[in-house]
Copies of this chain bind each other. A is one copy, B any other.
Amino acid sequence: MDIMQVEDSLVCTRRIPGLARVSFRVLRGPLGERAVAVDTVGARPGNWVFTISGSAARLAVGNGILTDLSIGGIIDRWEEDATSVRD
């Protein structure tokens, strides 16, 4: 599981049926890389979260949602600087 920060929501009108009614978040990792995750815990922009990938991501949100990345939880405390790998 990875630690990422919620940046924004993602608006996609045209989607595959298996992702029709889910809420997407654009996340940003410690190196600035972006990823899109399904959110079922209500994460807001600025929140630090941990993400679940692979088949566990699908099982984690259930309901036949065909994702490969899901938000697993919101981290209570996280210092942004601590995530830099170049310090």
Contact = CB atoms under 8 A, between A and B. Distances in A.
Interface of A: 1-3, 10-16, 18-19, 24, 26, 30-37, 40-42, 50, 52-61, 66-77, 83, 85-87
Nearest to A42: B14
B68 A1 contact: yes
Contact of A35 (B1, B31, B33, B77): B1
Contacts of A73: 12, 14-16, 19
Contacts of A54: 53-55, 68
B18 A60 contact: yes
Nearest to A84: B32
Given A1-B36, A76-B11, A52 B68 contact: yes
